[in-house]
Amino acid sequence: MNETLVLKGNIIFTKNTDKFEIYNNAFIVSIDGKVKGIYKELPKEYSNCKIRNYGNKLIIPSFVDLHLHASQFLQCGMGMTKQLLEWLNDYTFDLEKEFQNEEFAKEVYTKFADKLVDSGTLRACIFASSSTKGTEILFEILKKKGIGAYIGKVNMDRNAPNFIIESTEESIKGTEYLIKKYKNEKLVKPIITPRFAPTSTDELLEKLGELTKEYSLPVQSHLSENINEINWVKELFPDSKYYLDVYDKYYLFGHTKTAMAHGIHLSDEELNIIKGKNVILVHCPDSNINVRSGIMPLRKYLNMGIPIGLGSDIAGGHKIALNEAMVRAIQLSKLLSINNPEYKPLTIPEVFYLGTKGGGNFFGKTGSFEEGYLFDALVIEDDKLIADRYSLEDRLERFLYLGDDRNIIARYVEGKEIKQI
């Protein structure tokens, strides 16, 4: 198709966690949805292309949220005095049940998708609910939006109220239906999603592992989030040495690419196992605080070379905007560093990397503007008084700390502009 797109502006991104790559007043060229290059002077071969000139605005990679629950969107900012297992029972399951109602699912998922895209998240790993029909509705809504997502029907066949669990058979049948319907989609694709070990029987995990293998699918779930949860997993699966073994035993832990939310309480032995697998841990800082699960020792994991992405964990986290998660990750790291001089707080390029290229790796080449990367981008407008006075790095930091959807004036996925209606 050979579609060439040329944008002009101040281009900032991260190749790695060390520093920002900064190009003042430059051109970025995307061909067929992929970055071709960044140029101070536009090469002659593109001189006939129409240029979208964003002047003094910032052009950055769009955000990648590696863990959130679309079905918990209405619940954001509520039940925040509870801890995880109590919160699930008192708030979450009741709400997730409602997605069996198609009208409700349509209304809420539309609001969810609008807010997600408004906030600049253009790739996401999403838990829907246990309702097959509700999950199908979410697929259709996100397909129309034109953003990239992995969507999972949530599998549960025990240890949750009857109104929300399914029989093992029903759960697998609905999952396979969605896999068959959406496996060849380009942007919105299925992902195997056992909610977490405690709500899964061995039989369910075994069958989900078989689907993972048969269709070569990615996997997402929760891992070692909360101490009571971990103790519960030990009781339910006495033969498993570690929590992760419950998934690993059934082909659900890094045999295909796997995103595990939280991973807060992990021994060095477990971390070394994770490091040798195709697993990315997802840090969800707001959720760590809100449901008081603990704080992921992110610096330690980064030093060990464990792949990490960021998640809003809506609605354990209360804000969907991923720049909020970046800021909270820094703030938590500062708290951890206060009584531990060895613990170096996170930097702005580090959290920006995690929320763009770090998580983006899960989707292939996205989250960066290096040559060959999918051109997924946001254009950011800030206050003129700020723009005139401060460096691009300062302006980006300020956007991460204070900015919101009102500052995002354009969004691109694979070189196509996403227009919010």
CB of 45 to ligand GUN, least distance (A): 49
Contact by Cβ (8 Å): 356, 59: no
Is 157 among the residues that bind ligand GUN (CB under 6 A)? no
Question: Which of Fe ion, ligand GUN, none has residue 88 at its interface (CB below 5 to 8 Å by kind)?
Answer: ligand GUN
CA-CA distances (angstroms) from residue 355 to 72, 139, 299?
Answer: 21, 23, 15
- Token readout for 308 is 């990490």
Tell me which residue has its CB nearest to ligand GUN: 316
SS3 of residue 266 by DSSP: coil
CB of residue 286 to Fe ion, shortest distance in Å: 11
Query: In the window 14-33, what residues touch ligand GUN (CB under 6 A)?
Result: none
Binding track over 295-314 against Fe ion, x by CB under 5 A:
------------------x-
Q: Decide if residue 92 touches ligand GUN (CB under 6 A).
A: yes
Rule CB under 6 A: is residue 286 a binding residue for ligand GUN?
no
* Helix (H), strand (E) at residue 21: strand 21-31
Question: Which of 14, 220, 287, 366: binder of ligand GUN (CB under 6 A)?
Answer: 287
Residues in the chain: 421
Select 193 or 366, whichever has its Cβ closest to ligand GUN.
Answer: 193
Q: Which of the listed partners (Fe ion, ligand GUN, none) does 63 bind, with a CB threshold of 5 to 8 Å by partner kind?
A: none
Instruction: Please state, as a whole number, how many other Cβ atoms lie within 10 Å of the Cβ of residue 189.
Output: 18
User: Tokens representing 196?
Assistant: 């977490």
Taking CA 144 as the corner, what is the angle to CA 139 and CA 147, rounded to the nearest 5 degrees? 80
- The verdict on 69 binding ligand GUN (CB under 6 A) reads yes
Least separation in angstroms between residue 195's CB and ligand GUN is: 5
120 phi, psi to nearest 5 deg: 95, 5
In the shown chain, the binding pattern of residues 232 to 261 toward Fe ion, with x for contact by CB under 5 A and - for none, equals -----------------------------x
At position 145, the amino acid (one-letter code) is: K
Per-residue x/- marks for ligand GUN, 220-249, CB under 6 A? Answer: --x--x------------------------
3 state SS of 8: strand
319 binds, among ligand GUN, Fe ion, none (CB under 5 to 8 A by kind): none
Rounded CA-CA distance 70/293 in Å is 21
Give least dist CB 51 to ligand GUN, A.
Answer: 44
Characterize 257-283 residue by residue with b for buried, 16 or more Cβ atoms within 10 angstroms of its Cβ, and e for exposed: bbbbbbbbbbeeebbebbeebebbbbb
350 touching Fe ion, by CB under 5 A: no
Rounded to a whole number of angstroms, the minimum distance from the CB of residue 284 to ligand GUN is 7
Q: Considering only 84-92, 233-241, 242-250, 342-350, which stretch makes contact with ligand GUN by CB under 6 A?
A: 84-92
Cα 314 from Cα 335, distance rounded (Å)? 23
Contact 270, 295 (CB under 8 A): no
Q: Kindly determine how many residues on this chain lie close enough to bind ligand GUN according to the rule CB under 6 A.
A: 11
Backbone φ, ψ for residue 53 (5° rounding)? -95, 110
Which residues contact ligand GUN (rule: CB under 6 A)?
A: 69, 84, 88, 92, 195-196, 222, 225, 287, 313, 316
